[in-house]
């Protein structure tokens, strides 16, 4: 059985026990060209031209911590329509709160909390992992090149080699059943 690939380490994780509860820790994550190439490959991008995650880890009360940062990146992806390269600039604020105690859910059904910035505080806080997660969430799901359009009126048509694609007139799979129903009704009326 093969292990899943280990995510790259952009910066060393910060041990919570070593943090000073009165002083924030500033960080500035800027991977070099080789690391950006590896990240692009891992994330299925054509290229990751720029990547910077800059901010601070600061105390939030007596036992909790907060990362407040800015993610800046320039990514190149394949257009969802033409497969041409599409360059996108990402500038996102990032906020994560690490709480020593999360409130327990109540009731029989548990829903996702509205505040998705909260996480349980562990023994380490990893700004690099937060940066990668923020980048993955900020990537356009369906990047589109300028002027890229679907053929026709925005409808894709595809057919196997040698077969004609279906026309816009939708096939009616129950039309034959409708005819059978009418025939049965006529036969019932005759009896």
Structure-model confidence comparison of residues 64 and 175, the more confident one: 64
Average of per-residue pLDDT across 178-184: 82
Residue 67's pLDDT is 95
Average of per-residue pLDDT across 121-142: 93
- 31 falls in which pLDDT band (50, 70, 90)? very high
Contact between 68 and 55 (Cβ < 8 Å): yes
List, for residues 63-117, the tens digit of each pLDDT value. 899 999 999 999 999 998 888 999 999 999 999 999 988 766 666 666 665 667 8
Structure-model confidence comparison of residues 153 and 162, the more confident one: 162
Q: Look over the chain and give the mean of its residue pLDDT values, rounded to a whole number.
A: 84
Residue 102's pLDDT is 75
Average of per-residue pLDDT across 126-134: 94
Q: What is the pTM of this model?
A: 0.70
3-class secondary structure per residue, 127-167:
HHHHHHHHHHHHCCCCCCCCCCCCCCCCCCCCCCCCCCCCC
Eight-class DSSP state of 177: H
| CA-closest candidate to residue 29, choices 56, 11, 12, 49 | 11
DSSP secondary structure, 4-15, as one string:
PPPPP-SSPPEE
Residue 27's pLDDT is 94
Contact between 106 and 42 (Cβ < 8 Å): no
Cβ count within 10 A of residue 53: 26
Separation of alpha carbons 178 and 127, rounded Å? 63
Residue 178's pLDDT is 79
Q: What is the per-residue burial (b if ≥16 Cβ within 10 Å, else e) of 63-101?
A: eebbbebebbbbbebeeebeeeebeeebeeebebbbbee
Separation of alpha carbons 92 and 131, rounded Å? 10
Q: In this prediction, what percent of the chain has a pLDDT beyond 90?
A: 45
Structure-model confidence comparison of residues 37 and 186, the more confident one: 37
- 32 falls in which pLDDT band (50, 70, 90)? very high
Average of per-residue pLDDT across 147-171: 64
Separation of alpha carbons 75 and 52, rounded Å? 12
Separation of alpha carbons 29 and 138, rounded Å? 17
- 151 falls in which pLDDT band (50, 70, 90)? low
**Residue 161 φ/ψ, nearest 5 degrees:** -55, 130
| CA-closest candidate to residue 122, choices 3, 16, 9, 11 | 16
């Amino acid at each position: 059985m093969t292990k899943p690939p280990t995510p790259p380490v952009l910066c060393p994780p910060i041990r919570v026990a070593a943090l000073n509860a009165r002083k924030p820790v500033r960080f500035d994550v800027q991977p070099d060209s080789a690391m950006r190439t590896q990240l692009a490959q891992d994330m299925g991008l054509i290229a990751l031209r720029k990547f910077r995650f800059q901010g601070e880890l600061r105390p939030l009360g007596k036992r909790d911590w907060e990362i407040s940062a800015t993610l800046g990146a320039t990514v190149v992806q394949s257009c969802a329509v033409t497969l041409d390269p599409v360059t996108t600039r990402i500038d996102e604020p990032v906020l994560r709160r690490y709480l020593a105690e999360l409130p327990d859910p109540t009731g029989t059904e548990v829903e996702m909390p509205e505040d998705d910035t909260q996480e349980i505080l562990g023994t380490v806080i990893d700004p690099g992992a937060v940066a990668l997660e923020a980048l993955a969430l900020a990537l356009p799901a369906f990047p589109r090149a300028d002027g890229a359009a679907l053929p026709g009126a925005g409808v894709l048509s595809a057919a196997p080699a040698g077969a004609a694609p279906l026309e816009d007139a939708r096939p009616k799979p129950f039309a034959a059943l409708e005819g059978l129903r009418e025939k049965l009704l006529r036969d019932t009326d005759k009896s």
